[in-house]
Structure 1
Amino acid sequence: MKTSKHDVHKFDPYIKFLGDKKAVIGFAIVMAIIGISLSIIKSDWLWFSRFGSLITIAGLLLLSSPSFMKGIYLSNASAFGFASLDEDGNTRVTNEEDRKLGSKIFSGIVITILGTVVWGFGDLIGKLC
């Protein structure tokens, strides 16, 4: 059964790996190691705090993993028992409301990630200038 183009979000190919538990936990561990290493090297534990914001992102990604595993729209589809065919003859299992909800969840995840990075590293912009 081929998936309808209406059930595929434009960012699906890029975000599915974000739901991989091993990859996300690995990311969190690497961020902790980098944060600790920089803190020791620079004798400034503020670095570990900064990298803590990236570890928070890893937790957010795991909590949000259902939105990544099947795709942004399909993870929230309520019509699985009532699929229909689209104009190309492919099975469509989402409706307009599912796609709006999926987009809203995806936008929330992106904003949370960006906000967390700004929270952890935003003050460094002034040090670069």
Structure 2
Amino acid sequence: MAMRTRRFTLKAYTAAFATLLIGAVISIRLGDWSWFSRSGSLVVVNGIILTSHQIIEHMHALTRNHQHGMQVRHDWASEEKHNLINGDNEKRWRIEKYGLYMLIIGTLVWGFGDLVNTL
């Protein structure tokens, strides 16, 4: 499961980087940086897919635990949460964090990418 998630994340980051690179190349060739800005919107879509993938995996894990009679604790603010997060889950949460970073970067490029040529 972790290897599949890692491959999915790597593909998402590769696609996001390629999208930004293609947007930059098109912008340089045309002298119109709005194309780079538009590529940011596609990076946001990548980030949404990456983050949603992790949320769906968490929902499946919770469903499996519930079906096997395991109790699901809902008090995430308590110290008990440390017992729920093992090494594998910690990696998943870290990947979600990277998905959030991708969303932030994509949104900034989308909103301000056309201003790159003014620098």
| TM-score, length basis structure 1 | 0.42
Instruction: Tell me which protein shows more helix as a share of its residues.
Output: 2
Higher relative contact order (CA 8 A, sep 6+): 2
| TM-score, length basis structure 2 | 0.45
